[in-house]
Structure formats: C-alpha cells, structure tokens
Amino acid sequence: QDSPDSTGSDSVAMADDLPKVLYIHGGGSTDNTDRTVEPFPVYLRGCYGKRFHMVEMRLTHDFEACIRMQAAAIREFRPDVIIGRSQGGPTIMQLIRRKFWAGFAADDRRLFFHFQRKVPPMQTACVAIDKT
C-alpha cells in the first residue's frame, strides 16, 4: 500500500473502507485565490485520494451561492463526512438546517455533529493535526 504524501498526488491506495470526505474551505476567496493548495486540503487529499472532494468556491462573500454549490457537491459526490474550516463551519450548519445534510460533520475546532444518518465508522491511516 502506498503511503499518503503531502503533494496530494493520486499515489494513495484507494481502500473501499475509507470514508468519502467533502471539505468546505473558509471565506475570503477571490478569483485569484486557489484554496486547493492550502496545507489542510493537501493533507486530506493525501489521506483520502479520490475519496476526497473539495469545491473551489470563488467570491465567498456570496454565502447563498456557496450553500448552493456545496448542496450540489453533496448530491453529486455523496460524502460520508463533511469537514469545514472557518466559513465552512457556518456553511455546514446551513446545509444541515436546510436539510441538504444529515450526516457526520466537523469544523476546524473539532466540533463533531451527528444527525440522523447511519455512516460507517471512519478508518484511516492518517493522524489528526493538532493545531494547538
């Protein structure tokens, strides 16, 4: 089995028991911002490979557009868990409130939510990043 690397390459072995992870990045994005190369999404992509998905949201000041984009990503990607950072946290809460999501979710402050959805246990070789 290949080990995860920090480049986010597809060298990660695709184990069927890994959860599908949708990552929602924070705000402050403009047309010139590339959030896909930030350390945390690169790390997640290295851990989960093709079971990782991230929608690059441009112009995040349009919160309703962000919610619509993430709702579409949920429908298409069908994640097992959603992880958000910064503005990703309130986006997740709106997705839950509007009934687009009812599964596991976490924000970058390690707050976990479980909502009326049976999800297989998460098993991965990657370790959590301690931001303290």
Residues 6 or more apart in contact with residue 100 via CB below 8 angstroms: 67, 70, 71, 74
Which DSSP helix (H) or strand (E) runs through 87?
none
The answer to whether residue 5 scores a pLDDT higher than 50 is: no
* b/e 28-38 (16+ beta carbons within 10 angstroms → b): ebeeebebeee
Give residue-wise pLDDT tens across range 39-82: 888 999 999 999 999 998 777 788 899 999 999 999 999 999 99
Confidence of residue 3 (pLDDT cuts 50, 70, 90): very low
pLDDT for position 120: 44
Residue 97 — φ and ψ, nearest 5°?
Answer: -60, -40
pLDDT digits (tens, 9 = 90+) for 99-113: 999 988 887 665 445
CA angle 93, 86, 29 (to 5 degrees): 110
What 8-state DSSP symbol labels residue 80? S
Alpha-carbon torsion (69, 85, 98, 81), positive or negative: positive
